[in-house]
């Protein structure tokens, strides 16, 4: 198991960033991977917390070029911090992993579980899903900053969280059919995190600081569940394959958590689960529950249902079991209101 060793969540905790990373930074230079939007929101606060030791690297995309840029800047530093939503954390995490440096994750939004997981999702790799790196050594989540993130990002985070329901079911199926390793503790942790949104969707959907804190804790816990399992199994099943397929056929449309949320509704029905409960929770947090709301064409959704399992054939899921025809895929999407 590889797990984060320090987690600090609270209102205004960004001011404590210096002390939080000092054990690794040891008074030296600190490389900070961050995008320009995020820098405009937090740079003054971070500079106050770190003094003049922070060396900012502008992350423009979640790709290998940016990973190289961060690595090139980190030769005389003792640690790397990723500050931002998805891309800066993923870029910083993989750069730190490749460079053998400790990594700290400082999310400024809560749109997916990459803020704590040992995985990084980047363009330019040989596959459309995430690669294994190391979990962050520490995660510092300032609820004040995250609660001011665009609402859509927080709704997407709820989508990534509910997706653990179908991911765990797929994991259980793979265990039964293929004898794949299954860890009930990691699975329970992921399911408990999904329940934060399923059971508390009306409250979370108001995105008060308290609700945002629960969402962040849920996302961090699922990343930890992946660390305990030593694989992304508790966090990523058929609904993630559906999302990855849409990444290819409808690039740039919809956020990861939005696509996973829509996928979860349909996979839950296929698995015989309570898909209506998933859909109403997503509606309560203002996440898309239809192809139109997501911004993709109906036929792309049907195609993704038919072909998503081919993205990662070794990952056995409900889509491997049923191999949906066009007719069945269309029926599934229509009957759940997705198209
Ligand atoms: Zn995800």
Q: For position 72, what pLDDT does the model report?
A: 96
| Distance in Å, CA 178 to ligand 1 centroid | 23
pLDDT at 335: 98
> 29 C-alpha vs ligand 1 centroid, how far in Å?
32
Using DSSP bridges, classify how beta strands 131-132 and 103-107 pair: parallel, antiparallel or unpaired: unpaired
pLDDT value at residue 2: 84
At CA 297, angle to CA 292 and CA 299, rounded to 5?
A: 130
Q: What is the pLDDT of residue 131?
A: 83
CA distances from 196 to 19, 53, 160, 161, 268 (A): 31, 38, 12, 8, 17
Question: From the CA of 164, how far away is ligand 1's center (Å)?
Answer: 9
CA 39/CA 130 separation, integer angstroms: 25
Rg (alpha carbons) of the chain, rounded to whole number: 19
How far CA 98 is from CA of 28, 57, 169, in Å, comes to 20, 17, 33
User: What pLDDT is recorded for position 126?
Assistant: 67
Q: Which among 187, 178, 110 is positioned nearest to 143, based on CA atoms?
A: 110
At 77, give phi and psi (nearest 5°).
-115, 160
Distance 260 CA to ligand 1 centre (A): 7
At 85 the pLDDT is: 84
Residue 11 to residue 230: CA distance in whole angstroms: 31
Instruction: Walk along the chain (339 residues) in steps of 10 and give the mean pLDDT of each run.
Output: 92 96 91 94 95 94 94 94 92 95 96 90 74 91 96 96 98 97 97 96 95 96 93 96 94 95 98 98 98 97 96 94 96 98
**77 CA to centre of ligand 1 in angstroms:** 30
Ligand 1 centroid to residue 168 C-alpha, Å: 13
Pairing status of strand 138-142 against strand 6-10: parallel
The Å distance, Cα 26 to ligand 1 centre, comes to 33
CA 94/CA 40 separation, integer angstroms: 24
Q: Look at residue 77 and give its three-state secondary structure.
A: strand
At 196 the pLDDT is 94
Q: Which of 214, 128, 300, 228 is nearest to 290 (CA)?
A: 300
């Amino acid at each position: 198991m590889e797990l984060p060793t320090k987690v600090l969540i609270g209102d205004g905790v960004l001011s404590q960033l210096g002390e939080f990373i000092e054990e690794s930074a040891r008074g030296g230079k600190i490389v900070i991977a961050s995008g320009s939007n995020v820098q405009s929101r937090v740079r003054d606060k971070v500079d106050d917390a770190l003094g003049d030791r922070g060396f900012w690297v502008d992350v423009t995309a979640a790709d290998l070029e940016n990973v190289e840029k961060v690595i090139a800047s980190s030769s005389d530093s003792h640690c790397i911090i990723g500050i931002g939503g998805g891309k800066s954390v993923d870029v910083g995490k993989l750069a730190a992993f490749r460079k053998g440096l400790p990594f700290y994750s400082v999310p400024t939004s809560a749109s997916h579980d990459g803020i704590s997981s040992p995985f990084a999702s980047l363009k330019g790799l040989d596959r459309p899903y995430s690669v294994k790196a190391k979990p962050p050594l520490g995660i510092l989540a300032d609820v004040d900053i995250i609660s001011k993130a665009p609402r859509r990002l927080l709704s997407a985070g709820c989508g990534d969280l509910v997706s653990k329901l179908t991911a765990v079911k797929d994991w259980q199926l793979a265990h039964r059919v293929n004898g794949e390793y299954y860890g009930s503790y990691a699975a329970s942790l992921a399911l408990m995190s999904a329940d934060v949104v399923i059971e508390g969707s009306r409250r979370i959907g108001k995105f008060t600081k308290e609700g945002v804190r629960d969402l962040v804790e849920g996302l961090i816990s699922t990343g930890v569940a992946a660390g305990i399992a030593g694989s992304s199994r508790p966090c990523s099943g058929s609904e993630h394959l559906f999302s990855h397929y849409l990444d290819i056929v409808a690039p740039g449309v919809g956020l990861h958590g939005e696509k996973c949320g829509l996928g979860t509704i349909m996979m839950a029905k296929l698995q015989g689960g309570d898909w209506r409960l998933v859909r109403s929770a997503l509606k309560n947090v203002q996440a898309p529950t239809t192809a139109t709301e997501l911004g993709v064409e109906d036929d792309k959704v049907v195609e993704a249902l038919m072909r998503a399992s081919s993205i990662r054939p070794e990952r056995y899921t409900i889509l491997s079991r049923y191999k949906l025809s066009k007719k069945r895929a269309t029926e599934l999407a229509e009957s759940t209101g997705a198209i």
